[in-house]
Amino acid sequence: MAVEGGMKCVKFLVFFFNFLFWICGIALIAIGVYVQVQLNNSVIIKNASSSGAPIVIIVVGVVIFFVSFFGCCGAWKENYCMVTTFAILLTLIFLVEIAAAIAGYVFKDQVNSFFDASFKDGMSKYNATKDIEEALDDIQRSFNCCGAANYTDWYQYPPFSLSKSVPDSCCINETKDCGKASSSPIHPEGCVKKVNELIKKNVVIVAGVALGIAFFELLGIIFACCLMKGIRSGYEVM
């Protein structure tokens, strides 16, 4: 027996919210892939620690993608079992996101420490491979910075330790071998501080988006429960 009256409205609301979740899932997958590509270009140490965050984003996006598709089918077919499963899965996702948000807040300082250690490790291997050299140069050009804490960090690593010089990417007006010339103006601030400032600047936006998604998920759970009740009532009438 199909749902009637107000439950039809709830049915279409559940379908609409699931369509929004489906789009959010695609967006999260795209963001995760983008972040992973950016990390591969900017983070010097390519390991599980640096890849963890984007992989989690991609996995969550894939899960939301399939769960929302499952919810759309359940709402459209008015299938009690499918809608119930969707409500349970969405509740679990909601709880996992809250746990992830708390963990992100607790361990936010470790991100800065990780980047600092990663950047310094890259500085020590600057001439080892072309990839590391290009990665560090790209960061210093993009953030108008030099070294981890400041430009003097380069004086600890060869070959810059011998000549008290810096890479050319540290120069304000970059030219070939400008880092070796004492008269060339260089960026005084370190890259760790600049990256940390960027993270702090964008964390409010990220938190706002996360709260918005969580709010829609909560509404989706409520509407799914209402639809479950309506479908069950229909079965009981039969």
> In this structure, are 93 and 207 located in the same domain?
yes
Is residue 71 included in any domain, yes or no? Answer: yes
Is residue 198 included in any domain, yes or no? Answer: no
The CATH number covering residue 178 comes to 1.10.1450.10
> In this structure, are 20 and 101 located in the same domain?
yes
> In this structure, are 70 and 185 located in the same domain?
no
**Which of 28, 37, 172, 53 has the alpha carbon at shortest distance from 110?**
53
> In this structure, are 27 and 97 located in the same domain?
yes
Is residue 67 included in any domain, yes or no? Answer: yes
> In this structure, are 15 and 84 located in the same domain?
yes
List the domain range (segments joined by +) for residue 221. 6-106+203-237
> In this structure, are 14 and 93 located in the same domain?
yes
Q: pLDDT digit of tens for each residue in the chain (238 aa)?
A: 444 556 677 777 777 777 777 787 787 777 777 766 655 555 544 444 445 556 767 777 788 788 877 777 777 777 778 788 888 888 888 887 777 667 666 666 666 777 788 888 889 888 888 888 888 898 899 889 999 999 999 999 888 888 889 999 999 998 888 988 877 899 989 998 888 887 777 666 666 667 777 777 787 788 788 877 777 775 433 3
> In this structure, are 173 and 232 located in the same domain?
no
Is residue 1 included in any domain, yes or no? Answer: no
Per-residue pLDDT at 192: 87
Q: What is the 3-state secondary structure (H, E, C) of 15-82?
A: HHHHHHHHHHHHHHHHHHHHHHHHHHHHCCCCCHHHHHHHHHHHHHHHHHHHHHHHHHHHHHHCCHHH
> In this structure, are 221 and 163 located in the same domain?
no
Total of domains in the chain: 2
Is residue 217 included in any domain, yes or no? Answer: yes
> In this structure, are 98 and 119 located in the same domain?
no
- Residues 75, 232: Cα–Cα separation, whole Å: 13
> In this structure, are 120 and 169 located in the same domain?
yes
> In this structure, are 177 and 160 located in the same domain?
yes
Is residue 197 included in any domain, yes or no? Answer: no
Burial class for 56, CB neighbours closer than 10 Å (0-12, 13-18, 19+): middle
Is residue 147 included in any domain, yes or no? Answer: yes
> In this structure, are 187 and 140 located in the same domain?
yes
